[in-house]
A and B are shown apart, each in its own frame.
Chain A
């Protein structure tokens, strides 16, 4: 056993020695070129991170870009096919557009609802009441639960006959003589089910971030508004929202990216195939289930482009609705 640890430890030490040597060489070379000692030290110290980024992040990113133009099944060398993967994606894959549609609709529904819910919860938690710290802890708990366990829990909650959701809804359903919804087996209800699941994220990081934003709004603004005769709703519209807009902007951007990349929940919950597949799940299936890593890489790059365009649109629109204190509008 010591022998096996020693083998790994020796590799770690080799890597450490190599990095140390690289840092020393970098410092020496920079100094030779007349770079000041402080700057050379800074570069040498960030060198390990830079190397890690180049080798394990940028390298694979560029490799995936290359693979997206190849027919690559992982087991054999890639064969260059040009833009064939992209052409197949847009014109010949019957599952591509339904997956895009499902993922896009999921983002369109879950992000605004999630933000509204997070904002409402943050407003409630911003009250100065006794024990508010405990409430904030409780509402943050969903953020620390493992995603896989959460998915299994929701699968039970959505169970048609014994699940919590249908049990709570049953008086209403009985009143109108409606059948209990088959949440994850009825094709029409799959998307709403996942959207409802996503609201779980409301009581987590987003609430805490918005709460911090609310706490940072200067009190004198509310006092001035009150003196001017503004009621609670007017204060919310004309003080809270504008002052919170940078934080809302951040949660919107992060929310869109997360929604478009949803993966864990759909992987753990079997929904009818007719409802479609989320893009990341589809990419995973193509890569490892169909030996089509090249095509999966192309799908991944397309998803990146879509997310980038949506993010840029939000950035462009931010001039119209995001207010930064101290910013001068020309």
Chain B
């Protein structure tokens, strides 16, 4: 061993370290001290350095490009912060949790509404209630402008942990050509479950085309809501899935899913794709999110079927429809709370003019939808009709456990005809309630 060699190595390494530029920080630099010289004109104080606010999202390549355009506008207007996007399209949840555990999470993050309560209940998100209430200048901070069920998805124990940037109600995309061929009038506001089921049957030609397609989507929850039932009660204390109303909704769903008389069989969905079958004209009625491109996909590729939009059929008690929502939240470990809040609100305002549907009443109009997504101009009016009835899932801290029981021990056997909704609900209810807070 040559210790001298090691010493030389250590010396070179230290020399290289000393020569490198200091690491960039996100903290604003202190203003340079004024030196004691003869009186001269005092130079204007340096503009405060913008705080770097990191944002992590699940956006892929195309969505990231669009988001960057929004971020650029936000940054151009911002005086105190600079928003930097760090996309993580793969394993987003895993990366987020790992970063939080390691203390390196981004200041801002996108969260699906199913995840917000889980993170909030575990102290991972910043409570922004006071900042929102004190904010009287930013339109995106005006809480009473939001659709209440969507805003509630960002609340935990009365506090707000983010701002929603989208609410996608489920609507029904239908193929007018298939309807015309079958001699059936196109769907309208009068449609109810019976009309829908009858049309689905008449629009099915086994092996060639099907009236509709269910696959766990649309969520069975909305059929329960339409029947007047709940899967989680408002007070989060019970799971009344065995109520007459809930059973009615779930049994209706079970009678349709994978039933070749009305709907696409499971093996065919696995093979040909769920949404793709609607685009290729093999499914006459498909339940999709309001932002899905099914109604203007034909403009991108003429081979796609030309679909139109209708509101979902009405149930026995209501026309409730599921709305997927997502929010921007602040990591509780952020070192720049105010800058992160300012960035969150500015970004939310920007996204409200990009994504549809913005979850705000003041932006719930045809002009905003058409301006955000021109392809949706024709469907905008119908989409707006769905907004008063839309609601996200009611979420609890252990929502993952609840979901496991709901889907694996209740829905999966129900869809595969292992029991009726009434029978399966009796055994599922206590297991679901065991996961409630």
Binding site for B on A (CB under 8 A): 3-4, 6-7, 9-10, 13-14, 16-17, 20-21, 23-24, 27-28, 37, 40-41, 44-45, 73-76, 94-95, 159-163, 182, 184-187, 270, 272-274, 288-291
Contacts and interface: CB of A to CB of B under 8 A. Distances in A.
A184 B267 CA distance: 8
Interface in B83-106: 93-94, 97-98, 100-101
Given A6-B21, A75-B124, A95-B408, A289 B93 contact: yes
A307 B398 CA distance: 31
A61 B339 CA distance: 39
Contacts of B268: 160-161
A74 B119 CA distance: 11
B1 interface: yes
Contact of A76 (B122, B270, B404, B413): B122
Contacts of A159: 270-271
B401 A290 contact: yes
Given A185-B266, A291-B122, A3 B101 contact: no
Interface string B1-41: 10100110110011011001101100000000000000000
A44 B17 contact: no
Contacts of A274: 408, 412-413, 416
Contacts of B14: 13, 17
Contact of B97 (A95, A163, A288): A288
A40 B1 contact: yes
Nearest to A15: B13
A293 B267 CA distance: 35
Given A40-B1, A272-B412, 7 more contacts: A20-B9, A20-B10, A74-B98, A75-B123, A160-B268, A290-B404, A291-B400
Given A24-B10, A37-B1, A273-B407, A10 B20 contact: yes
Contacts of A186: 267
A73 B1 contact: no
Nearest to A270: B270
A13 B16 contact: yes
Max chain A Cβ within 10 angstroms of own Cβ: one of B9, B14, B267, B400: B267
Contacts of A17: 9-10, 13-14, 17
Most chain A beta-carbon contacts within 10 A, residue among B9, B124, B271: B271
Given A162-B271, A290-B401, A7 B9 contact: no
Interface of B: 1, 3, 6-7, 9-10, 13-14, 16-17, 20-21, 23-24, 93-94, 97-98, 100-101, 118-119, 122-124, 266-268, 270-271, 398, 400-401, 404, 407-409, 412-413, 416
A74 B271 contact: no
Contacts of A20: 6, 9-10, 13
12 contacts: A13-B13, A17-B9, A24-B7, A75-B97, A75-B119, A159-B270, A160-B270, A161-B268, A182-B267, A272-B412, A272-B416, A274-B412
B131 to A, nearest CB: 22
Contacts of B98: 74
Nearest to A44: B1
A276 B293 CA distance: 34
B415 to A, nearest CB: 9
A21 B10 contact: yes
A32 B268 CA distance: 75
A212 to B, nearest CB: 37
Contacts of A44: 1
B122 A73 contact: yes
Interface centre among A9, A41, A290 (most CB of B within 10 A): A290
A3 B21 contact: yes
Contact of B20 (A9, A24, A185): A9
B1 to A, nearest CB: 4
Contacts of A187: 416
A289 B10 contact: no
Contacts of B13: 13-14, 16-17, 20
B123 A76 contact: yes
Nearest to A184: B270
B264 to A, nearest CB: 12
Contacts of B1: 27, 37, 40-41, 44-45
A20 B100 CA distance: 32
A121 to B, nearest CB: 31
A73 B122 CA distance: 8
Contacts of B7: 24
Given A9-B20, A27-B3, A44-B1, A288 B94 contact: yes
A24 B6 contact: yes
Please indicate which of the listed interface residues A3, A37, A40 has the most CB atoms of chain B within 10 Å of its own CB: A3
Contacts of A74: 97-98, 100-101
Contacts of A184: 270
A186 B94 CA distance: 30
Contacts of B409: 94
Nearest to A288: B94
Contacts of A73: 122
A7, A20, A44, A95, most chain B CB atoms within 10 A: A20
Contact of A13 (B17, B124, B270, B398): B17
Contacts of A41: 1
A4 B118 CA distance: 35
Nearest to A289: B400
A219 B400 CA distance: 62
B6 A288 contact: no
Contacts of B124: 75
Nearest to A43: B1
Contacts of B412: 272-274
- 10 closest A-B pairs (Cβ-Cβ)? A17-B13, A41-B1, A182-B267, A10-B20, A75-B122, A290-B400, A24-B6, A288-B94, A75-B124, A20-B10
Contacts of B122: 73, 75-76, 291
Residue among B7, B16, B123, B412 facing the most chain A CB atoms (10 A cut-off): B16
A273 B6 CA distance: 58
Contacts of B23: 7, 10
Contacts of A76: 122-123
A94 B304 CA distance: 44
- Name which of B101, B407, B409, B413 has the most chain A CB atoms within 10 A of its CB: B101
A73 B416 CA distance: 33
Contacts of B9: 16-17, 20
Contacts of B416: 187, 272, 274
A14 B6 contact: no
Contacts of A161: 268, 271
A272 B408 CA distance: 9
B8 to A, nearest CB: 9
A160 to B, nearest CB: 5
A138 B169 CA distance: 52
Nearest to A163: B271
